[in-house]
Amino acid sequence: MAKPAFPANTILAAGDNVKLQFKKHPFLNKMTGQYTVDPMGNITIEGIGTIQAAGKPVSALQNQIQNALHSITSIDSGIKVSLLQQNRFILMGQGVRYPGWYKVPLRPSLEELTNFASGLKPGAGLEDATISRKIKGKIQKLSFAKALPLQSFDHLTLTSTTDSAIVDNGDLLYVVIPKEITGEFSPTEKNYFKEKVEIDRHGFIFLPSQGNIKISGFTTAKISELLTNNLPKYLSKSDKASVNLIEKRHYIQILGHVAMPGWYNIPESANIQAILSQAGGTVDGANLTKVTISRKINGESKDLLANIQYYLSTGDKRMLPVLHENDTVFVPLTPALGPDEEAGRAQAALETPKIRIFGAVNNPGIYPAPSSMNLLDLLITAQGETADADLTKIKIMRAEGDKELFDMQALLDSNASEEKTTFPQIRGGDIVHISRQETVTGPENLQTGQPTTQSITMSGPGSNGRGLQAFTEPMTPLQAIAQAGGVTAFADTNDIVIIRRVNGKQENLPYNYDKALKGEEPDVDFLLQAGDMIYIP
């Protein structure tokens, strides 16, 4: 019996799965499929962009997508939007095997819910399960039964009666074992084997004195007892072995379009980006929007989809499935377009109005011109203005032949009311030019005797733009990195270093890009000086 469809007036929420169907057409075929309403409440459609979905009925989303399509093409889409599943993003914390964010059904049983996180930790129980939820601006705790149906961003907590650590395949241990004394006997002398030991993929460790020993599934106390009992009697009576858990790790297999496929042992707290980095990153043509994670849940193999591109562009971990022991991550290839699809896209491109922007912007070129685009939207599309941009005299050459000058700097500097803070509308066929300011010069070049432009240097494998970059005061590292093209997908943005010469000596100043993005001090207010080097690892 077919499952009944959700009514068209059902209000969408973050976590819901919707299906988009269009008439068969080469340009529209790529848009057909299932979409998850992301934690920000949006869906992102290739060829259209980001559309707000949460808080709207299904019918309103359908109309919004139809209107967006009309702004870029005259093709009759025949669009139909339907709600497939009502899911919610839940944070599972204390008490489950793999804490983190999960997308779960609206009304699961407590056992079904914890199974998404591979069940309970030893000593945890379901009896006192609570859901923390923000209600009218305050966090309130509810019993699980009273919290149904679940809401996105609920936080599940379970009680735990023990802190005993259970070791698993991949964990890193610190092992101390008393050894026989081979030198001259001394009653005060002690000799120990002290090493970091990693549990292999099959649950064994190797010790020179005891060989291969299977220890996966035991507590550290039990392993200490086991190793002590394996010692010669004269050693076990006078001393004991000890085992401490340094880090929880697990083995993950990664396949598909990465530089080095295979098995990797990564920290349990690491996300998919970490294993992609260990595998040498993706190769050309990899599709990061539809990465598959294969996992066994209650003995059944299931596939989960992960949109890595969403995480790389937003930094939002809630859309990334938590990695479990023995997961297989597969990075697919972006499918090649057939002749009909290429022709369809070319036709749609010809029908889409275009605008051109050039001059002092980071990414000059020709862009589609939706009917609602203004000058600020266009600047954002072109990745912002460069450091030497003159925003006081932006030239807009209209398709009809008219020319306009716009002083954007005055608007940005003014205290005008929100109603008056408007940017010129941009229409198909328009050309926008942003001129550059006069060159700022500094001390003379010692070799040529000519004035040199004040600059900073971008360096490191995590930077999208390297080499000399124009410097204008005041400038923050955040602005400099953005103007140089941003960071790569695998940049370590927590450990950026600003290298500066002070009184003839080099100083390395730490800079946290992620904190700066959030507006946290002091990183967001850090000011560069001419000659600084930004190193992005």
The domain that holds 93 is classified in CATH as 3.10.560.10
Instruction: List strand residue ranges (DSSP E) for 106-221, in order.
Output: 130-135, 138-143, 154-157, 172-178, 192-198, 204-207, 211-214
Query: What confidence score (pLDDT) does residue 458 get?
Result: 83
Indicate if the pLDDT at residue 520 is higher than 80: no
In a domain? residue 165: no
Cβ-contact 220, 294 below 8 angstroms: no
**Which of 412, 434, 456 is the C-terminal boundary of a domain?**
434
Using alpha carbons only, what angle is made at residue 381 by residues 377 and 382, rounded to the nearest 5 degrees? 120
Q: How many CB atoms lie within 10 A of CB 138?
A: 7
pLDDT at 399: 75
> Is residue 388 situated within a structural domain?
yes
Q: Is residue 348 part of a domain?
A: no
User: Is residue 320 domain-shared with residue 237, that is, in the same domain?
Assistant: no
Provide the percentage of residues in the chain whose pLDDT is more than 70. Answer: 88
Query: Residue 445 — very low, low, confident or very high, per pLDDT cuts 50/70/90?
Result: very low
Q: Is the pLDDT of residue 259 over 60?
A: yes
At residue 328, the pLDDT reads 94
Mean pLDDT of 11-23: 95
pLDDT over threshold 80, residue 353: no
Decide if 63 is inside a domain: yes
- Domain finish residue from 247, 271, 305: 247
| Mean residue pLDDT across the chain | 83
Count of the separate structural domains present in the chain: 6
> Is the pLDDT confidence value at 525 over 70?
yes
Where a domain ends, among 85, 114, 139?
85
Confidence band of 438 (pLDDT split at 50, 70, 90): low
In this prediction, residue 380 carries a pLDDT of: 81
Number of Cα atoms under 13 Å in the Cβ half of residue 30:
20
Residues 451 and 531 in one domain: yes
Of 118-127, 281-290, 330-339, 377-386, give the lowest mean pLDDT range: 330-339
124 part of a folded domain: yes
Q: What is the pLDDT of residues 373-395, one digit of tens each?
A: 888 888 888 888 887 788 888 99
Mean pLDDT (whole number) for 299-327: 88
- Residue 478 clears pLDDT 60, i.e. is over it: yes
Cα separation values, 282 from 44, 116, 312, 331, Å: 22, 28, 13, 8
For residue 345, the model assigns a pLDDT of 55
User: Residue 502: how many CB atoms within 10 A of its CB?
Assistant: 9
**CA nearest to 380, candidates 367, 393, 390:** 367
Instruction: Say whether pLDDT at 265 is over 90.
Output: yes
Q: In whole angstroms, what is the distance from residue 217 CA to residue 164 CA?
A: 12
CA nearest neighbour of 228 among 263, 190, 193, 253:
193
Q: What is the pLDDT of residue 451?
A: 35
Taking only the tens place, the pLDDT of each residue in 394-405 is 999 887 778 889
Q: How many Å apart are CA 435 and CA 389, to the nearest integer?
A: 6
pLDDT of residue 449: 38
Structure-model confidence comparison of residues 473 and 440, the more confident one: 473
Q: Best-predicted range by mean pLDDT among 69-83, 143-157, 163-177?
A: 143-157
* Whether residue 453 has pLDDT greater than 70: no
Q: Are residues 451 and 522 in the same domain?
A: yes
Q: Please give the pLDDT value at position 16.
A: 96
How does pLDDT run across 324-341, given as a tens digit for each residue? 999 999 999 876 656 565
> Could you tell me which of 116, 9, 491 has the C-alpha nearest to residue 276?
491
Residues 15-29 have a mean pLDDT of 90
In this structure, the answer to whether residues 100 and 130 fall within a common structural domain is yes
Same-domain status, 430 and 450:
no
Q: Are residues 358 and 429 in the same domain?
A: yes
- Tell me which range, 146-155, 273-282, 407-416, 421-430, is most confidently predicted by mean pLDDT: 146-155
Task: Indicate whether 412 pLDDT > 80.
Answer: no
What does the pLDDT read at residue 472? 78
pTM beyond 0.85: no
Whether residues 80 and 110 fall in one domain: no
Residue 182 lies in a domain: yes
Q: What is the CATH number of the domain that holds 21?
A: 3.30.1950.10
Residue 162 pLDDT: 67
In the predicted structure, residue 189 carries a pLDDT above the cut 70: no
3-state secondary structure at position 351: helix
The span from the CA of 333 to the CA of 282, in Å, is: 10
Place 11 in a pLDDT band, splitting at 50, 70 and 90: very high
198 with 122, same domain: the answer is: no
Residue 163 lies in a domain: no
Query: What is the DSSP-derived secondary structure letter of residue 15?
Result: T
pLDDT at 516 over 50: yes
> Is the domain of 425 the same as that of 384?
yes
Residue 439's pLDDT band (cuts 50, 70, 90): very low
Q: Are both 46 and 80 inside the same structural domain?
A: yes
pLDDT digit string (tens) for 65-86? 998 888 777 788 899 999 999 9
Kindly state the DSSP code that residue 11 receives in the 8-state scheme: B
Determine the structural domain holding residue 311 and report its residue range: 252-331
Please tell me whether residues 188 and 219 are part of one structural domain: yes
Residue 91 has pLDDT above 60, yes or no: yes
Give the pLDDT confidence score for residue 337 in this predicted structure: 57
In-domain check, residue 340 = no
Do 196 and 271 reside in the same domain of the chain? no
Averaged pLDDT for residues 1-29: 84
Give the per-residue pLDDT at 365.
Answer: 79
- pLDDT for residue 502 is more than 70: yes
Contacts 24+ apart (CB under 8 A), 489-495: 489/273, 489/276, 489/281, 489/312, 490/273, 490/276, 490/277, 490/281, 490/462, 491/460, 491/461, 491/462, 491/463, 491/536, 491/537, 492/462, 492/536, 492/537, 493/462, 493/536, 495/537
Is the pLDDT assigned to residue 43 strictly greater than 90?
yes
Contact between 524 and 476 under an 8 Å Cβ cutoff? The reply is yes
Of 203, 196, 204, whose CA–CA distance to 247 is shortest? 196
